[in-house]
Amino acid sequence: MAEEASSAPAPAGGKMTMVAGVDESDHSFYALQWALQHFFPPAQPQQQQYRLVVVTAKPSAASAVGLAGPGAAEVLPFVEADLKRVALRVVDKARELCAAAQVADAEFEALEGDARNVLCDAVERHHAEMLVVGSHGYGAIKRAVLGSVSDYCAHHAHCTVMIVKKPKPKH
């Protein structure tokens, strides 16, 4: 899997830390690209004021399958392998975007758990000054049923939370 979390508090060089949450959605990659464009000037990578930690959350196979009965045990290894492939794909795409933007100081994590908790824990662990997440733009009913990672993080992360919305196409 991708690199696991380190417990190093603050990086050398005194840079502030930005955590960016990504998943396989276009919305999260738009948010990452937006942050890269606005906070990481490619012309001067040595002068970038942030260190970037890109985090993706991988749900556990058991939570993805749920309590499905006697056949669930045979399915879990296949679900786990698929979830790992998705997490690796997400990290690889984020790594490519950061390399293209010439980000000088980035690390990548794929951690198991609910995205809400994984992101808030990453903020604490890395002593981040900012968390960047995308918004799916769900309405109130869909957000109430599915839950909103960005809303949860805005209320629970102990740092500034930037919620980046992907522009809607104009008709």
Residues 6+ apart with CB under 8 A from 7: 125
Question: Which strands form 160-165's sheet, in the order they lie side by side?
Answer: 106-112, 50-58, 16-21, 130-135, 160-165
Model pTM score: 0.83
98-101 long-range contacts, CB within 8 A, separation 24+:
98/36, 98/52, 98/54, 101/33, 101/36, 101/37, 101/40, 101/42
Q: Two tokens at 154? A: 């805005």
Per-residue pLDDT of the chain (171 residues; tens, 9 = 90+): 444 444 444 454 688 999 999 999 999 999 999 999 999 987 776 778 899 999 999 988 776 666 556 666 777 788 888 999 999 999 999 999 999 999 978 999 999 999 999 999 999 999 999 999 998 766 555 555 556 899 899 999 999 999 999 888 876
* Percent of the chain topping pLDDT 70: 78
